[in-house]
Amino acid sequence: MKKVTLGLLALSCLGGIASADAPKDAAEQVTTSARQPARKVPYIPAPENLQAREKFADDAFGVFIHWGIYSMFGQGEWYLQNCGMPATEYAKAADGFYPSKFDAAEWVAAIKDAGAKYITITTRHHDGFSMFKTKESPYNIVEATPFGRDIIGELADECRKQGIGLNLYYSHIDWTRDDYPTGRTGQKTGKDPQKEDWAGYYKFMNNQLTELLTNYGPVGAIWFDGLWDHDQDSIPFDWQLEEQYDLIHKLQPATLVANNHHCEPIEGEDIQLFERDLPGENKAGLSGQAVSQLSLETCQTMNGSWGYRAIDQNYKDTPTLIRLLVGAAGKGANLLLNVGPQPSGEIPAKAREHLKEMGQWLRANGETVYGTRRGDFPAQEWGTSTRKGNKLFVHVFDSSNPTIHVPTPRKVKSAKEFATGKKVKFTRDKKRGGVTLTLGQVPDTIDYIVELITD
Ligand code: FHN
């Protein structure tokens, strides 16, 4: 195991773990820092990378897919760790994995119809099972299951065909391989501690990343997860991120490096991630980090789980999901909304229903979300705002007040209802700055949008 000895970069972060509603012991949260060494060579993003960051921000909405052999147990993606069974027994599920209803074309069509512009899928989660064809381990969907198909390959082809982006989730943790130096999770899966070999494991990861970045065409982002597994080590654990990030940028300069380490960004990363909270907020316990200038993304579950959990039918309703998306846009962040497909390969019906409804709403109102940047002011009691050029879209979630104060520092030239084009009365608020909008009685809607033209 390689330990950091020099040049530590203290970064504030919230460690912690977990399946969204994992048992309490697994969801323990720790405040600590990433404590990774400073880069030896400063990171200068390539022009195509900078362009990709802007495109990423324009896209605003992606769908996250947590899918693996864990779906067969119907108990979420942390089942191997949470149930305490040996990894050798868990691995037997692979022999029965035959998602007969998996259809990449259907997935992509449904996700595209929802208005999402990209998919982020788990290529290998903490259980160590690779959902793609890999020469690096036989524990993969093509070799270890009767299904024998490379679902990442099929998805990549289909995304290209239907014109949406593909980002790849990759776990830094492995609860099955002996060479992964065990951290604070996956301690009961029967790994042999004598065989820990960080150098070997690091090489394995980089070889797999090389496969992912050479075999599937353009990859929008590599989305790491798991760095927090070693956040309680007495000697800081060096994940050797500089070399790994550089490898990614060398193979595909436009690929964005993202890391869900629950810390402030580390040099070499291209976007900043938040989990189950909007930037700057921390209701779920993993966020609250300072918000950087990078493009932002917040991931959220549609029910309470990432991987398929049969018992969890507690789906957020469509208005909540839409407000989540708009709320994220108001803070300049994309929403990465998760679905956990069933073992059959189907996206649960309820999730599909909500995606469909989000798509309907976005077809009418997408102009106020896609291609926008954060609004002029923090979220207000009544809602939020997004900006595109000289247009400020005021999103009113709570229209119970006939007037609202919009604290924009810019001069407002006109105001109209986005849906109808009908003029909206506005007056300058000399005392507080900004303007007061007279909404009067507005229809009870998910998001009443007023378009302001400003200087
Ligand atoms: O442990 C994972 C969890 O299973 C899931 O993948 C989420 C998604 O953001 N990330 C980790 C917890 O932070």
From 121, 230, 260, mutation site for ligand 1 pocket: most ligand atoms within 8 A of C-beta? 260
Tell me how far the alpha carbon of residue 16 lies from the centroid of ligand 1, in angstroms. 10
Tokens of 76: 């979420």
Helix (H) or strand (E) holding 222: strand 221-225
- Ligand 1 atom having least distance to the Cα of 77: 4
Per-residue pLDDT tens digits for 213-269: 999 999 999 999 999 999 999 999 999 999 999 999 999 999 999 999 999 999 999
- Ligand 1 atom 2, closest CA: 18
- Ligand 1 atom 9, closest CA: 275
Per-residue pLDDT tens digits for 295-331: 999 999 999 999 999 999 999 999 999 999 999 999 9
Per-residue pLDDT tens digits for 23-46: 333 333 433 367 899 999 999 999
Q: Tell me the mean pLDDT in the region 180-202.
A: 97
- Ligand 1 atom 11, closest CA: 18
Tokens of 94: 């692979």
Pocket of ligand 1 (CB under 6 A): 17-19, 77-78, 225, 260, 275, 299, 306
Residue type, 42: P
Residue 246: CB atoms within 10 Å: 15
- CA end-to-end distance (rounded Å), the chain: 57
User: What's the whole-number average pLDDT of the chain?
Assistant: 93
* 261 vs 441: CA distance, rounded Å: 45
**Residue written as token pair 């109102």:** 365
- Ligand 1 atom having least distance to the Cα of 228: 13
- Which is nearest to 164 in space by CA: 120, 98, 99, 225? 120
Per-residue confidence band for 337, with pLDDT thresholds at 50, 70 and 90 = very high
Partners of residue 75 on adjacent β-strands: 309
Is residue 104 within 8 Å of 131, Cβ to Cβ?
A: no
Residue 394: pLDDT above 60?
Answer: yes
DSSP string, 306-356: SS-BTT---PPPHHHHHHHHHHHHHTTEEEEEEE---TTSPPPHHHHHHHH
> Which domains occur in the chain, in start order?
6-373 (3.20.20.80), 375-454 (2.60.40.1180)
* 442 vs 179: CA distance, rounded Å: 61
Is residue 264 within 8 Å of 11, Cβ to Cβ?
A: yes
Per-residue confidence band for 279, with pLDDT thresholds at 50, 70 and 90 = very high
* 303 vs 64: CA distance, rounded Å: 13
Q: Looking at residue 132, what is its pLDDT?
A: 98
- Ligand 1 atom 13, closest CA: 17
Is residue 322 within 8 Å of 361, Cβ to Cβ?
A: yes
- Ligand 1 atom having least distance to the Cα of 306: 5
Is residue 61 within 8 Å of 115, Cβ to Cβ?
A: yes
Residue 18: pLDDT above 50?
Answer: no
Q: Looking at residue 442, what is its pLDDT?
A: 86
Q: Looking at residue 443, what is its pLDDT?
A: 84
Q: Tell me the mean pLDDT in the region 394-405.
A: 96
Tell me how far the alpha carbon of residue 35 lies from the centroid of ligand 1, in angstroms. 20
Q: Looking at residue 25, what is its pLDDT?
A: 33
Residue 411: CB atoms within 10 Å: 10
Per-residue confidence band for 13, with pLDDT thresholds at 50, 70 and 90 = low
Q: Looking at residue 10, what is its pLDDT?
A: 36
* 295 vs 331: CA distance, rounded Å: 11
- Ligand 1 atom 5, closest CA: 19
Residue 250: CB atoms within 10 Å: 12
- The alpha carbons of the chain give a radius of gyration, in whole angstroms, of 23
Report which of residues 123 and 30 the model is more confident about.
123
Residue 3: pLDDT above 70?
Answer: no
Tell me how far the alpha carbon of residue 198 lies from the centroid of ligand 1, in angstroms. 22
Q: Looking at residue 444, what is its pLDDT?
A: 83
* 417 vs 177: CA distance, rounded Å: 57
Residue 138: CB atoms within 10 Å: 11
From 80, 123, 305, 306, mutation site for ligand 1 pocket: most ligand atoms within 8 A of C-beta? 306
What's the pTM? 0.95
- Ligand 1 atom having least distance to the Cα of 273: 9
- Ligand 1 atom 4, closest CA: 19
Is residue 281 within 8 Å of 256, Cβ to Cβ?
A: no
Give the CB-side neighbour count of residue 58, counting CA atoms within 13 A. 9
Tell me how far the alpha carbon of residue 18 lies from the centroid of ligand 1, in angstroms. 5
Q: Looking at residue 24, what is its pLDDT?
A: 34
Q: Looking at residue 96, what is its pLDDT?
A: 98
Lowest mean pLDDT among 24-33, 63-72, 159-168: 24-33
Q: Looking at residue 34, what is its pLDDT?
A: 79
Q: Tell me the mean pLDDT in the region 105-123.
A: 99
